[in-house]
Amino acid sequence: MKVVNLSRNGAVKVRRDVKNLLEADCELLPKSFIPGEWIVLSDQKEKAAYLAYINLNADNEQSMIRVLSKIDGYIREKMHLQGSDLGSLKENEIGENYLKFAINAAIKRRNFFGEFEDDCMRLVYGDADKLPGLVIDKYCNIILVQINTEGIDRHRNIIQKTMALLYPENAVYFLDNAEERVKNGLPIWNDEYSWQNRVSKQHIMLKENGFKIIIDEAVIQKVGYYYDHRYNRHKFENMVKKISRKKIKCAKGLDLFTYAGSWGMHQLRAGVSHVDFVDQGKFSAVVEQNLMLNRYEGKGIFYRTDVYDFLDRRIEEKLKYDVITSDPPAFAKTVRNKEKAINGYLKLYEKIFQILESNAVLAVCSCTNYVSLEDLDFAVNEAFRRLKARDMVSSTGANSIQLVDIGMEGPDHPIASLGDKTHYLKYLLYILSE
């Protein structure tokens, strides 16, 4: 393996646990690297070394060098590294050993939480598991793998074999994101392990919080399912159950941006009599199938339409709901669009408040990385304040709102701190009262 010396600034970055490095962070960086080639980064001042890989062809400059791990005594032991001459290491052997070690460590981390062992979950979550660009999700019947960085992609056969060995009863497929792969200079694979080439056209089958969920192959989003809100959905359901039925009727619920219907089914199990499921995607058959699978036939209707248009129609019809969940896709992919995202949430919540009963429950979510928990809370309260300022309290039926619960990613989406870049998910639960 090639050894690259870190510059003074590069060494400082790595010591501060920065994972993405630029060309300027290294001394005399050659141009002859194979895309995704694994290298050793050397911090000469501290006599420290780090395992990394490099891709000079990546469209995103910040992804040029991805730091995996410090090569300390623990890593040496786990990867069976001998001697002090790191330059003599063989890349294929190191890549195989590291991937096996890191994947097993990620799964062991999930096993701290007993309910994950027989359930479905995210097994590997990119940088959070020291495997940048790698996401692995476990379902009842299959394992879906997504790779978005060249350094990991060079060893995709090792990942396939490792997962097949760990979960022999699950078929292992790669569900690659073409857009992300092109952006990072990655090839589009079309082999026997590609999801689109599988012989058996089975659907995704999973379990979450006691629910059985099936997602048709034709409507799969991202890596198939959004496990990140598992704990929040569980908390939400329990909170709705605890609320006095004298104050919250729980007769009619609404699940906005529903996808497979998860939030709405948690509403039904919490005691809501009927739920309207709304999404602009082709999820009618999926939602109806999941309602039937969990014995809620006839208790929900799917509306395929734009959420904002649906809310406008409900406002015009003066139709109100007792419980609403709103879990939209990300409103901004860059920090430059943060203000636009907050305005989008404001617009959304102003419409939602106008169709809530005087005593109601509202759960709002955001997966927009650059919108903080405080930003989301501001959008909710500001939307309610604007309605009151326009003397529209009578239309909302409520005079005050109370924040009663907050949440973030579940433990199968590990984060080190609230300032961690992998921390993106927000959940807030409000009660409206007269």
Q: Which of 9-13, 61-65, 315-319, 417-421 bottoms out in mean pLDDT, i.e. has the lowest? A: 61-65
Quickly list DSSP for 60-72. SGGGSEEEEEE--
* pLDDT confidence of residue 387: 87
pTM above threshold 0.75: yes
pLDDT in tens, 325-336: 999 988 877 778
The range of the structural domain enclosing residue 32 comes to 2-89
Tell whether the model's pLDDT for residue 74 goes beyond 70: no
pLDDT digits (tens, 9 = 90+) for 26-49: 998 888 888 889 999 999 898 888
Residues 293 and 424 both lie in one domain: yes
Q: What angle do CA 13, 14, 15 make, to 5 degrees?
A: 90
Any domain includes 218: no
With cut-offs at 50, 70 and 90, classify the pLDDT of residue 271. very high
In a domain, 404, yes or no: yes
The reply to whether 105 and 83 lie within a common domain is: no
CA contacts within 13 A on the Cβ side of 107: 16
- Tell me what the pLDDT averaged over the chain comes to: 87
Identify the pLDDT of residue 125. Answer: 94
Question: Is 240 found in the same domain as 194?
Answer: no
pLDDT band at 116 (very low <50, low <70, confident <90, very high): low
Question: Is the pLDDT at 300 greater than 70, yes or no?
Answer: yes
Same structural domain for residues 325 and 379? Answer: yes
Q: Please indicate, yes or no, if residue 414 is contained in any of the structural domains.
A: yes
CATH number for position 429: 3.40.50.150
Query: What's residue 272's pLDDT?
Result: 94
Structural domain contains residue 311: yes
For the chain, percent of residues with pLDDT exceeding 90:
54
Position 397 confidence tier, pLDDT thresholds 50, 70, 90: low
Q: Between residues 238 and 31, which one has the greater pLDDT?
A: 238
Is 322 in a helix, a strand, or coil?
A: strand
Note the pLDDT of residue 95: 87
Range in 176-180, 316-320, 354-358, 413-417 with the lowest mean pLDDT: 176-180
Q: Looking at the structure, do residues 125 and 228 belong to the same domain, yes or no?
A: no
Q: CB under 8 Å to 266, separation ≥6 — which residues? A: 209, 211, 233, 234, 236, 237, 325
The residue type of 63 is: S
- Asked if 244 and 132 sit in the same domain, the reply is no
Least confident of 52-61, 91-100, 154-163, 278-287: 52-61
Average pLDDT over residues 421-429: 90
pLDDT of residue 167: 92
Under 8 Å between Cβ of 363 and 427: yes
Residue 394 has pLDDT above 60, yes or no: no
Pair 137, 63 in one domain: no
How many domains in the chain? Answer: 3
* Co-location of 255 and 276 in the same domain: yes
Check whether residue 85 and residue 102 sit in a common domain.
Answer: no
Amino acid at 152: I
Q: Which pLDDT does position 317 carry in this prediction?
A: 95
Higher pLDDT, 378 or 195: 378
What is the rounded CA–CA span in Å between residue 32 and residue 299?
62
Q: Which residue has the tokens 């005399």?
A: 28
pLDDT value, residue 62:
59
* Residue 30 domain-assigned (yes or no): yes
Q: Are residues 178 and 282 in the same domain?
A: no
Beta strands in 118-227 (DSSP E): 121-125, 134-138, 142-147, 171-174, 204-208, 211-215
What region, left, alpha or beta, does residue 391 occupy, with left being phi > 0 and alpha being psi -120 to 50 degrees?
left
pLDDT for position 200: 65
* pLDDT number for residue 259: 94
Tell me: do 149 and 170 sit in the same domain: yes
Of 209, 243, 273, the residue at which a domain comes to its end is: 209
Ramachandran region of residue 130, left (φ > 0), alpha (ψ -120 to 50) or beta? left
Residue 256 binned pLDDT confidence (cut-offs 50, 70, 90): very high
Question: What tokens were used for 333?
Answer: 């992919």
Q: Which single residue is written with the structure tokens 């973030």?
A: 408
Tokens of 33: 């690297």
Closest C-alpha to 127, from 417, 418, 419, 415: 415
How would residue 246 be classed by pLDDT, with cut points 50, 70 and 90? low
3-class state of residue 39 by DSSP: strand
Both tokens assigned to 211:
């629910």
CA angle 272, 273, 279 (to 5 degrees): 75
Domain final position from 175, 209, 243:
209
The percent of residues above 70 in pLDDT, for the chain, comes to 91
Which is higher by pLDDT, 400 or 15?
Answer: 15
Best mean pLDDT range from 40-54, 222-236, 310-324: 310-324
In 207-256, which ranges are continuous DSSP H helix?
230-242
Q: At what angle do helices 262-270 and 284-293 cross, to 10 degrees?
A: 30
pLDDT band at 182 (very low <50, low <70, confident <90, very high): confident
Residue 36, φ and ψ in degrees, nearest 5:
85, 5
Inside any domain, residue 217: no
